Amino acid sequence: MSKQAISLLALPVTLSATVAACRFTTFAGAQSGAGENAFGVSRTGGVSGEKITADVLGTAIVEAGAAVTAGDTVKADSTGRAITWATSGAKLGQALQAAAAAGDLIEVLLIPNVA
């Protein structure tokens, strides 16, 4: 499990829903859904109306939604966790570390994304 992240740009986002820490988040302040674009990765969790910081450029710590191999391109699962991109959905980053199972924290190189 990684604890290292090199954020080159972190921005505030006002939450519109409950968001857990280390999840891909949307521009609207919710956790990204399956295959959705992401604004960034939440550093902390929060509830609707709160402001949190999201890492939007550089590397970030993301919770894995399944096993991930280092080097895999990742996308968001239905709860904003990183899973391996296969054929569809927005490519959100590249795993810099492997995840053995869901719940592992891995460092991800964030990339500009478009679904």
User: Does any domain span residue 51?
Assistant: yes
Specify the pLDDT at position 113: 76
pLDDT tens string 71-87: 999 999 999 999 999 98
Specify the pLDDT at position 115: 59
CA-based nearest residue to 11, from 33, 45, 32, 42: 42
Number of folded domains in the chain?
A: 2
Q: Are 43 and 71 part of one and the same domain?
A: no
User: Does any domain span residue 20?
Assistant: yes
Q: Are 65 and 92 part of one and the same domain?
A: yes
Q: Are 52 and 68 part of one and the same domain?
A: no
What DSSP state is assigned to residue 31? B
User: Does any domain span residue 1?
Assistant: no
User: Does any domain span residue 75?
Assistant: yes
Q: Are 80 and 66 part of one and the same domain?
A: yes
Tokens 């919710």 appear where? Answer: 30
Question: Average pLDDT in the 5-25 region?
Answer: 96
Specify the pLDDT at position 108: 97
Range of the domain at 70: 61-110
Q: Are 16 and 34 part of one and the same domain?
A: yes
Q: Are 88 and 69 part of one and the same domain?
A: yes
Tokens 């590397």 appear where? Answer: 59
Specify the pLDDT at position 4: 84
Question: Average pLDDT in the 13-37 region?
Answer: 96
Q: Which of 21, 38, 56 is the last residue of a domain?
A: 56
pLDDT tens string 30-89: 999 999 999 999 999 999 999 999 999 999 999 999 999 999 999 999 999 999 999 899
User: Does any domain span residue 81?
Assistant: yes
Q: Extract the tokens encoding 33.
A: 């859904």
User: Does any domain span residue 3?
Assistant: no
User: Does any domain span residue 52?
Assistant: yes
